[in-house]
């Protein structure tokens, strides 16, 4: 069978999402005993004891299908966030909700507006449905909200705002968001405004002028908020995220949401994680301390980083390619992330780890840079010598 003839045209050339390198693959390839993974912005403290206990307690129930709507998780979230129960929908990670929005609302001829260098899953959701993606250049290394608004047309279905953005770590502040909504009110066109806040808990702690998007939602604006248990709550392996949106939107997405899309262990662990705010505070302190340490050390090395409102840093390794540094670090037992697909070929993204992980990374990073610098200087001397001979 020639599949290329029967595939939907949108699938031809569709590029899958590239996850970070798994630890076991690197261990096997290089024969290493110690490996530090700082590639996927996971919580380096891991899962809280309370969430783990809730996860383990449900073991005898896994032969059953989960409660399809995640009622108990939604109740816990509604109480935690002070929103209505019917304004919350669960997904197998917030990625699934992005995809559901695309399947429900994006058509050929539509467009969605994103920022240049934004999380790639927005464009993927549009591509899958044959919609066009309009990318707006960043301003001061962050989303240019007014520039994005000016691109809205009658064909615009959604405007995605990653706050903070992955991989840059930059965010739009309260003043910028206020101006954004004031301008939007003056326009008759109003697509879905989607705030992706996967790193919300980190940003609220690290950045005093970070906007509280729930306030805008409660004012009745056409707003969708996406959050997750994968980051600060440490449940990345269980895949559970959630969306906050109007009741009508929840009902629409529920029509196409796969039944039982969030497992019993994921639901139980999420409830346990929400109840353990002590673990959240410890996680925030870890990131603040690690961020200050790494930023200071990078500055001493003359290596540029962007101020980050997440649990990661984007590091400029110019004149070398990010992939070069990524591969050399991997050989030394450190997994970071090369971010070419985001338009940053001379950068890597580094998750804030435990204190000992950060030190191990820096040790190997300095070693790699020293070797790269020696190689560059040596090649330059060779070129100079050959030029003199000529």
* pLDDT tens-place string over residues 54-83: 999 999 999 999 999 999 999 999 999 999
User: Does residue 25 sit in the same domain as residue 65?
Assistant: no
User: Does residue 260 sit in the same domain as residue 299?
Assistant: no
Last residue of a domain, one of 276, 305, 337: 276
How far apart, in whole angstroms, are the C-alpha atoms of residue 337 and residue 323? 8
- Domain range spanning residue 87? 49-276
Tokens representing 261?
């899309």
Categorize the per-residue pLDDT at 375 as very low, low, confident or very high, splitting at 50, 70 and 90.
low
User: Does residue 169 sit in the same domain as residue 38?
Assistant: no
User: Does residue 179 sit in the same domain as residue 212?
Assistant: yes
Q: What is the CA radius of gyration of the chain?
A: 22
User: Is 374's pLDDT higher than 70?
Assistant: no
Question: Judging by DSSP bridges, how do beta strands 111-115 and 156-162 pair with one another?
Answer: parallel
Q: Tell me the average pLDDT of the chain.
A: 92
Question: pLDDT tens-digit profile of 306-318?
Answer: 999 999 999 999 9
User: Does residue 197 sit in the same domain as residue 233?
Assistant: yes
Q: State how many domains the chain has.
A: 2
93: nearest Cα among 274, 252, 270:
270
Question: pLDDT tens-digit profile of 213-257?
Answer: 999 998 888 899 999 999 999 999 999 999 999 999 999 999 999
202: Cβ contacts below 8 Å, ≥ 6 apart: 164, 231, 232, 284, 287, 309, 310, 311
User: Does residue 235 sit in the same domain as residue 246?
Assistant: yes
User: Does residue 92 sit in the same domain as residue 152?
Assistant: yes
Q: Check residue 387 and give its pLDDT.
A: 45
Last residue of a domain, one of 250, 276, 302: 276
Q: Check residue 312 and give its pLDDT.
A: 98
Give me the percent of the chain exceeding a pLDDT of 70.
95
User: Is 188's pLDDT higher than 90?
Assistant: no
User: Does residue 139 sit in the same domain as residue 207?
Assistant: yes
Q: Check residue 356 and give its pLDDT.
A: 98
Categorize the per-residue pLDDT at 8 as very low, low, confident or very high, splitting at 50, 70 and 90.
confident
Last residue of a domain, one of 254, 276, 298: 276
User: Does residue 103 sit in the same domain as residue 133?
Assistant: yes
Question: Judging by DSSP bridges, how do beta strands 36-37 and 334-335 pair with one another?
Answer: parallel
User: Is 181's pLDDT higher than 60?
Assistant: yes
Question: pLDDT tens-digit profile of 113-155?
Answer: 999 999 999 999 999 999 999 999 999 999 999 999 999 999 9
Tell me the CATH number at 218: 3.40.640.10
Tell me the CATH number at 323: 3.90.1150.10
Give me the percent of the chain exceeding a pLDDT of 90.
82
User: Does residue 184 sit in the same domain as residue 312?
Assistant: no
User: Does residue 177 sit in the same domain as residue 302?
Assistant: no
The answer to whether 170 and 309 have CB atoms below 8 angstroms apart is yes
- Find the mean pLDDT for residues 364-370: 94
Evaluated on CA atoms 142, 145, 150, 151, the torsion sign reads positive
User: Does residue 215 sit in the same domain as residue 242?
Assistant: yes
Q: Please, what is the angle between helix 71-81 and helix 264-275, to 10°?
A: 20
């Amino acid at each position: 069978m020639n599949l290329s003839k029967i595939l939907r045209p949108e699938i031809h050339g569709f590029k899958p999402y590239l996850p970070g390198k798994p630890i076991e693959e690197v261990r096997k390839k290089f024969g290493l005993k110690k490996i530090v993974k700082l590639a996927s912005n996971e919580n380096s403290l891991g899962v809280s004891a309370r969430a783990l206990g809730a996860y383990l307690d449900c073991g005898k129930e896994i032969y059953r299908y989960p409660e399809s709507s995640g009622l108990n998780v939604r109740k816990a979230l509604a109480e935690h966030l002070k929103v209505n129960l019917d304004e919350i929908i669960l997904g197998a990670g917030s990625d699934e909700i992005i995809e559901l929005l695309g399947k429900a609302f994006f058509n050929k001829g539509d467009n969605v507006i994103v920022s240049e260098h934004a999380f790639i899953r927005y464009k993927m959701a549009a591509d899958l449905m044959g919609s066009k993606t309009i990318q707006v250049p960043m301003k001061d290394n962050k989303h240019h909200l007014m520039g994005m608004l000016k691109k809205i047309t009658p064909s615009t279905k959604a405007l995605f705002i990653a706050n903070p953005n992955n991989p840059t770590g930059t965010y739009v502040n309260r003043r910028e968001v206020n101006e954004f909504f004031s301008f939007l009110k003056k326009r008759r066109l109003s697509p879905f405004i989607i705030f992706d806040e996967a790193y919300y808990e980190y940003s609220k702690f690290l950045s005093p002028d970070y906007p509280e998007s729930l306030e805008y939602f409660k004012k009745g604006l056409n707003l969708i908020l996406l959050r997750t248990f994968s980051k600060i709550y440490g449940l990345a392996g269980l895949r559970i995220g959630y969306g906050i949106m109007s009741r009508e939107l929840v009902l629409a997405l529920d029509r196409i949401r796969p039944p039982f899309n969030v497992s019993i262990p994921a639901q139980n662990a999420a409830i346990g994680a929400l109840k353990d705010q002590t673990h959240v505070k410890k996680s925030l302190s870890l990131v603040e301390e690690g961020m200050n340490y790494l930023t200071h050390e990078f500055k001493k090395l003359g290596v540029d980083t962007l101020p980050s409102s997440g649990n990661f840093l984007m590091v400029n390794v110019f004149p070398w390619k990010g992939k070069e540094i990524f591969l050399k670090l991997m050989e030394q037992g450190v997994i970071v992330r090369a971010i070419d697909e985001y338009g940053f070929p001379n950068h890597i993204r580094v998750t804030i780890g435990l204190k000992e992980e950060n030190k191990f990374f820096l040790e190997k990073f300095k070693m790699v840079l020293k070797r790269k610098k020696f190689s560059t200087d040596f090649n330059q001397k060779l070129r100079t010598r050959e030029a003199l001979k000529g």
